[in-house]
Chains A and B, each alone.
Chain A
Amino acid sequence: MSGGNYKTEDGRQIGGTLMEMKNITLRFGGVVAISDISFDIHEGEIRAIIGPNGAGKSSMLNVISGFYHPQDGEVWFRGERRPTMKPYQVAKQGIARTFQNIALFNGMSVLDNVMTGRLTHMESGLFSQAIWRGKAEREEVENREAVEKIIDFLEIQAIRKTPVGRLPYGLKKRVELARALAAEPKLLLLDEPMAGMNVEEKEDMSRFILDVNDEFGTTIALIEHDMGVVMDLSDRVVVMDYGKKIGDGTPDEVRNNQEVIDAYLGVSHD
């Protein structure tokens, strides 16, 4: 496995280890969702997690984002072992995410949804907001600017004021990405960002993911079970099957791994 600090073919700089999962095991009652899995994510890379349905991919993302807590194993982030953390604490550390089954604030407009992504950047507390109106207002303006930049970037200006509940599926996915980006995360976790999309939407989403990585230097871990998409996007791939890691490497290495081929041929995946 590559040790980091190299340049990719397209000239992007990959740094040292940003996140390391060590011997993670996660059980739900009798079900072992993740079984003794280790892998790392380098700064600046696009890391994919692939595998058939039920392999434990989402569970892994949920462990990283603090939604699930593994029975065994260690999570290391930016060179430090992370204690057990609640999701909101993980978010404050600079890890943002999207969900496999979109989780948006349906009652709010697109703009307000994306704005909530800035909450971790809002310093002013309840009382300082009441007392220092000036500071709070300046902060609001700065946050609005950051949000507008992301809205432009993801080309959703036209729906800024639309209540999210009324948007079609593909756009919802994009708004969710916008909200995650608004946090200016160190690490961005995407759970099947292209699931359920048509070809055109998939192409748009792929382009956005590459652009985010390229322009903001954001490290991205994404789940996808479409091999083709993964091969195009990612620098390195972890392959999971039945809670176990059965492959880890560049798309080419993984593609030629016999165990991976077997897993993909043996299990139906759409």
Chain B
Amino acid sequence: MPDQFLFAMEVILNGLMAGVLYALVALGFVLIYKASGIFNYAQGVMALFAALTLVGIMEGQVPFSHLINAIFGTEIHHFGWHVPALLAIAMTMVVMVGLAWAVQKFIFRHLVNQEPILLFMATIGLAFVMEGIGDIMWGAEIKKLDIGLPQGINDWIDVTTFEAFGYGFFIDNLDISATIVAIILVGALIAFSQYTKQGRALRAVADDHQAALSVGISLNFIWILVWSIAGFVALVAGIMWGAKSGVQFSLSLIALKALPVLMLGGFTSIPGAIVGGLIIGVGEKLFEFLIGPMVGGATENWFAYVLALIFLVFRPQGLFGEKIIERV
């Protein structure tokens, strides 16, 4: 049935695009986990926080305005200016670096050598605190995020596929830009880790803390760096997700989708996060398309987790996860 086949093709393409976002969030997890052994539950909230901050800065919103107004009896909400998208992104990045610094200084510096479960609990706490601060700073209402990326159906693909197959694929321009941006981001990350001094130091820390110290690397600096990079990745994910469905608190829930991605790809593998994200993205869309109608739909809610469970049973270290090498 060629029609069915074409539909499936379209579904796969859209799944790939959705997968890119999962991959981005998972990438943030992997970076921090590799460098510090911390499973950062707050990665999703970081994406939310970044997106909230970006919208707030672009719109010229006064941070903490509710609080300020409540205390001083004022009525200020906006500075009355608009900040261009690129500048606002740069400013948001400064905020994310500040956040990385604060997280390291006030939380994880004091938890060095603690049990992983304790570190994990700390990130759960961090997630709630950040959600709260995001709320107080920028307000809880759903916000529109538009940094000027092209939106809507890609006409060229629509027309070309229609001419070729007699059926026009619906691919959103936003998804295409998200994919391109994600590819550039991953390329930049790889170049950074392979060819810069800090990248080398980062890989060293991810491999062995003691050895890293002995060659003159400051763990504290690397951890701030890696939280900043994770913050940047979160910002990109937040922009993409926010542009698609508005900036709202449910954004932080995409972090939960990253979990099955990580089980699939392995918690320490960057290629794993990417491939895992794509597999889950395509898998859940395709499953919904093929099997969904038979079981009454809504399979997207659970498909990823079932797939991850199956993986846990047969290949617990994930697709690309490293086997733990016993040290001599």
Known: A102-B328, A116-B204. A129 touches B213 (CB 8 A): no
Q: Which residues of B contact A172 (CB under 8 A)?
A: 328
Report if A92-B197 is in contact (Cβ < 8 Å); known contacts: A101-B327, A105-B203, A116-B204: no
Chain A nearest CB, measured from B224 CB (Å): 12
Contact B325 A88 (CB under 8 A): no
Contact of B197 among A65, A106, A124 (CB under 8 A): A124
- Note all chain A residues with C-beta closer than 8 A to B206: 107
Sample of 14 further A-B pairs with CB below 8 A, known A91-B215, A99-B211 = A86-B213, A88-B219, A91-B214, A92-B216, A103-B208, A105-B211, A105-B212, A106-B327, A116-B200, A116-B204, A119-B204, A124-B197, A172-B328, A179-B215
B interface size (C-beta, 8 A): 24
Shortest Cβ distance from A180 into B: residue: B214
> In the bound complex, do residue B208 and residue A87 qualify as a contact, i.e. CB atoms below 8 Å apart?
no
Interface string of A77-93 (1 = CB under 8 A from B): 00000000011100110
**Cross-interface CB contact of A119 among B200, B219, B328, cutoff 8 Å:** B200
With both chains docked as a complex, state the minimum distance between the C-beta of A112 and any C-beta of chain B, in angstroms: 8
Q: Which residue of B lies closest to A189 (CB)?
A: B214
Q: How far is the CA of A120 from the CA of B212 in the complex (A)?
A: 11
Chain A hits for B203, CB < 8 A: 105, 107-108, 112
- How distant is A95 from chain B, measured CB to nearest CB, in Å? 9
Known A101-B328, A106-B325; judge A88-B197 contact (CB<8 A): no
Contacts of B207 in A (CB 8 A): 105-108
CB closest chain-A residue, reference B221: A88
Q: Show 24 residue pairs from A and B whose CB-CB distance is below 8 angstroms, ordered by the A residue.
A: A67-B213, A86-B213, A88-B216, A88-B218, A91-B213, A96-B215, A97-B214, A103-B208, A103-B210, A103-B214, A105-B203, A105-B208, A105-B212, A107-B322, A116-B201, A116-B204, A116-B212, A119-B215, A120-B215, A122-B197, A126-B196, A126-B198, A169-B328, A179-B211
Q: Which residues of chain B are near A96, meaning CB under 8 Å?
A: 214-215
Whether a CB of chain B sits under 8 angstroms from the CB of A254 is no
> Would you call B211 and A103 a contact (CB within 8 A)?
yes
Q: How far is the CB of B278 from chain A (nearest CB, A)?
A: 24
Neighbouring B residues of A67 by C-beta, 8 Å = 210, 213
**Chief secondary structure at chain B's binding surface:** helix
Say if the beta carbon of B91 comes within 8 Å of chain A. no
Q: A107 — which chain B residues lie within 8 A by C-beta?
A: 203, 206-207, 322
Residues of A within 8 A of B (CB): 65, 67, 86-88, 91-92, 96-97, 99, 101-108, 112, 115-117, 119-120, 122, 124-126, 129, 165, 169, 172, 179-180, 183
Q: Give the docked Cα–Cα distance between A165 and B207 (Å).
A: 11
Asked if residues B201 and A119 are in contact (CB atoms below 8 Å), the reply is yes
CB-CB under 8 A from B212, the residues of chain A are 105, 116
Residues on A with C-beta less than 8 A from B176 are none
Whole-angstrom distance from the CB of B187 to the nearest CB of chain A?
15
Q: Tell me if A106 and B208 are in contact (CB < 8 A).
A: yes
The distance in angstroms between the C-alpha atoms of A103 and B328, with both chains bound, is 9
Q: Point out which of B200, B206, B210, B214 has the most chain A C-beta atoms below 10 A from its C-beta.
A: B214
Are B328 and A117 neighbours in the complex by a CB distance under 8 Å? no
Measured between alpha carbons, how far is A92 from B201 in the docked complex, in Å? 14
- Give the nearest-CB partner of B225 in chain A: A126
Minimum Cβ distance to chain B for residue A110 (Å): 14
Least distance between A20 CB and chain B CB atoms (Å):
22
Give which listed residue, B196, B208, B218, B325, contacts A129 with CB less than 8 A: B196
Q: Is the CB of B197 within 8 A of A119?
A: yes
In the complex, chain B residues whose CB is within 8 Å of the CB of A129: 196-197
Residues from chain A with Cβ under 8 Å of B122 in the complex = none
Q: Are A99 and B214 also in contact (CB < 8 A) when A105-B207, A116-B200 are?
A: yes
| Cβ contact within 8 Å between B217 and A119 | yes
- Quote the shortest CB–CB distance from B234 to chain A (angstroms): 19
| Complex Cα gap A124–B198 (Å) | 10
With both beta carbons as reference points, the residue of chain A lying nearest to B216 in the complex is identified as A91
Verify A88–B217 contact, CB threshold 8 A: yes
**B30: shortest Cβ distance to chain A, in Å?**
14
Taking a contact as CB atoms under 8 Å apart, the answer to whether A120 and B210 are in contact is no
Quote the shortest CB–CB distance from B29 to chain A (angstroms).
19
Residue of B197, B217, B219, B322 touching A125 (CB-CB under 8 A): B197
Bound: A87/B217 CA distance, A: 8
Separation in Å of the A175 CB from the closest CB of chain B?
A: 11
User: 10 closest pairs, A vs B, by CB?
Assistant: A91-B216, A103-B211, A105-B207, A87-B213, A120-B216, A103-B210, A122-B197, A88-B218, A116-B215, A88-B216
Shortest distance in angstroms between B291's beta carbon and chain A's nearest beta carbon?
A: 39
Residues of B within 8 A of A115 (CB): 200
